[in-house]
Amino acid sequence: MSSHTAVRTPPRPPQRSGARRARSGGMWRRGRFIAVLAILAACVLVFHRWVPNEFGNMGSLLDTFLPWVGLAVPVLGLFALVRRSAVAGVALLVPALVWGYMFADQIIPSRSGGAHDLRVVSQNVNAGNADPAHTAQRLLALKADVLALEEITAADMKIYKAAFADEYPYLVARDTVALWSKYPVEESKSIDVGFAWTRALRAEVDTPEGKVAVYVAHLASVRIDTTGFTSDQRNRTIKSLGRQIADEKLLGVIVMGDFNGTANDRSLAPLTAGLRSAQGASGNGFGFTWPATFPMARIDHILVRGVTPTKAWVGESTGSDHLPVVAELRI
């Protein structure tokens, strides 16, 4: 037997605290690519006006769908959770705060309200509407004082005239646009916006609180194709209509219709300058109106000058491919 006895060294316990620190440090090293994408999303929101229109009107296209950039936050947030990335989670706060600053007033309930003098409704009724009689009944249920319709065919006009005759004694119709009113219409005319047929009109409505100039317009359509966002014709109609509204002499002005563009679209500036969106700060959501089956953009508008919006909302589907827009106004 050996005189030396082997002494076994007991194994060291696992360094758990060190492993935890390593994992914790990894949370700050993982997900850097996600963090970069989050900062890029914030930059798109902040600097969207810097995207030029020279190449396929890409700037206007981004303006049109700008609120949807916010979807980057939950999508990237999901990837950050999967990766357990702390740096990505912190970076996502940047686009979330920017988006909230830009659009919170459209989703936080507004304190506006109170008495109103006039309820107005605008609706693109769709030239291909399969059931205009149903659309007419849904519009009657909105109980407007002044009702503006766009994209009316000659055949459908007969149906709308018959449906609205009892409720609205005053009618101004110009080709594919028309206005029905409970109050007298003292003067009206067609507005030339560069088409072979009339797509805009002006009417002086004599409300109990005074006269207001009401414009109804259906601007040219836009397309998204291989050449980009084709909106040149629409932009020409915007400038033409904007000049005439800027020269309006009456203090109270209401502009309603399908503008084929959102309030964010820089190309609408010649029209929206000096006008206030009745829907913009209503706190009833983004007010998307098109397409009716899954609304993605608010291209139907009620704009005002010299009158005060007290409430605004988007109506339920009437059978058209657009949703109606409703506003209550104080003259």
Question: Would the pLDDT of 77 be above 60?
Answer: yes
Binning pLDDT at 50, 70 and 90, where does residue 57 land? confident
Let me know: does 236 contact 219? Beta carbons within 8 Å.
no
Report pTM.
0.84
Q: Does residue 143 sit in helix, strand or coil?
A: coil
Q: Lowest-confidence range among 19-23, 106-110, 277-281?
A: 19-23
Q: Is the pLDDT of residue 224 over 90?
A: no
Contacts of 148 (CB under 8 A, 6+ apart): 120, 121, 122, 123, 177, 178, 179, 214, 216, 256, 257
pLDDT tens track for 174-220:
999 999 999 999 999 988 877 767 889 999 999 999 999 999 999 88
Q: Are 45 and 66 in contact (CB under 8 A)?
A: yes
Q: Dump pLDDT digits (tens) for 102-143.
A: 988 777 766 666 788 999 999 999 999 999 999 999 999 999
